[in-house]
């Protein structure tokens, strides 16, 4: 085989492999028959991630990173150094030291206290978004999935359709898709955040796994996995 012919063969082979790869993860327009997703589910806390701890860890990391950036720019001392929140130079009253905490409204002299994002508000919104419901009820029919979480009204999601919805985190465009045996809700927020909620039941299993992945511009990526048992 000549060099030119070999190149043409390699290009054709790569194209076929690419097509096979796409087909392997192709989404479907209708939900496959026999899916085990439908039913009532109860959260198994012992087998699930601690969403509170995940949010707290992400928040602490983001705040620490921002404090260091601000300190290098001349806004407040390095964390742990004299003059940081909760510490004071020898002989001075700690109450007289400016408070550089992001979660306080300001110091006693009227200083802003928080410099940067509203971490307190963000923490509340992330907790509301990522703490999983204790109970789930899923109904599946054709290309429609209905999800009821705890005592909230049920919500309908049709495969391939986009809808705009306002939730605890903000306004988002939500797209529902089904890939193999997984149902996923993709949310793109106007704040440039994104999330995906994937519902998956292993064939022959009595457990449903809800994987929530949230990407926030301030704190980065948070992944929470929750396990549910049939009830």
Which residue stretches of the chain are H helix?
3-24, 51-72, 119-130
Beta strands of 167-231 (E only): which ranges? 171-179, 182-189, 194-201, 207-216, 220-230
CATH number where 205 lies: 2.40.128.20
Which pLDDT score, from 0 to 100, does residue 44 have? 97
Question: How many residues appear in the chain?
Answer: 231
Which pLDDT score, from 0 to 100, does residue 81 have? 52
For residue 221, being part of any structural domain is answered with yes
Which pLDDT score, from 0 to 100, does residue 172 have? 94
Which pLDDT score, from 0 to 100, does residue 149 have? 97
d(CA 114, CA 132): 30
Q: Which domain holds residue 44?
A: 27-51+132-230
Contacts of 220 (CB under 8 A, 6+ apart): 58, 61, 62
Helix/strand/coil (H, E, C) string of 160-177?
A: CCEEEEECCCCEEEEEEE
- Residues 206/217, Cβ–Cβ less than 8 Å: no
Number of neighbouring beta carbons within 10 Å of residue 1: 8
- Residues 182/200, Cβ–Cβ less than 8 Å: yes
Find how far residue 154's CA is from the centre of its chain: 21
How many separate domains does the chain show? 1
For residue 76, being part of any structural domain is answered with no
Question: Which of helix, strand or coil describes residue 121?
Answer: helix
**The pTM is what?**
0.70
Which pLDDT score, from 0 to 100, does residue 22 have? 39
For residue 193, being part of any structural domain is answered with yes
For residue 59, being part of any structural domain is answered with no
For residue 61, being part of any structural domain is answered with no
Which pLDDT score, from 0 to 100, does residue 48 have? 98
Which pLDDT score, from 0 to 100, does residue 117 have? 72
Q: What is the pLDDT along the chain (231 residues), one digit of tens a residue?
A: 554 554 454 444 444 444 444 344 455 667 777 788 999 999 999 999 999 999 999 999 988 888 887 777 776 555 555 444 444 445 444 444 344 455 544 444 444 444 457 888 889 999 999 999 999 999 999 899 999 999 999 999 999 899 999 887 889 999 999 987 899 999 999 989 999 999 999 877 889 999 999 999 989 999 999 999 999
Token code pair at residue 137: 């009820």
- Residues 48/134, Cβ–Cβ less than 8 Å: no
């Amino acid at each position: 085989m000549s060099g030119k012919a070999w190149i043409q063969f390699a290009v054709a082979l790569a194209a076929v492999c690419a097509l096979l790869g796409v087909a392997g993860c192709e989404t479907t327009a209708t939900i496959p028959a026999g899916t085990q997703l439908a039913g009532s589910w109860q959260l198994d806390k012992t087998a699930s991630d601690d969403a509170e701890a995940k949010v707290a860890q992400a928040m602490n990391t983001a705040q620490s990173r921002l404090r260091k950036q601000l300190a290098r720019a001349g806004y407040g001392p390095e964390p742990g150094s004299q003059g940081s929140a909760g510490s004071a130079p020898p002989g001075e009253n700690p109450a007289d030291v400016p408070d550089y905490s992001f979660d306080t409204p300001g110091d006693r002299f009227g200083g802003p206290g928080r410099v940067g994002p509203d971490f307190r508000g963000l923490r509340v919104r992330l907790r509301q978004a990522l703490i999983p419901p204790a109970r789930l009820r899923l109904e599946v029919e054709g290309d429609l999935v209905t999800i009821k979480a705890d005592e909230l009204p049920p919500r309908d999601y049709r495969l391939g359709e986009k809808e705009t919805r306002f939730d605890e985190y903000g306004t988002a465009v939500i797209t529902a898709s089904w890939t193999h045996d997984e149902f996923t809700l993709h949310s793109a927020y106007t704040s440039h955040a994104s999330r995906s909620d994937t519902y998956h039941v292993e064939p022959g299993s009595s457990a449903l796994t809800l994987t929530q992945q949230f990407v926030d511009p301030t704190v980065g990526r948070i992944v929470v996995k929750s396990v549910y048992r049939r009830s």
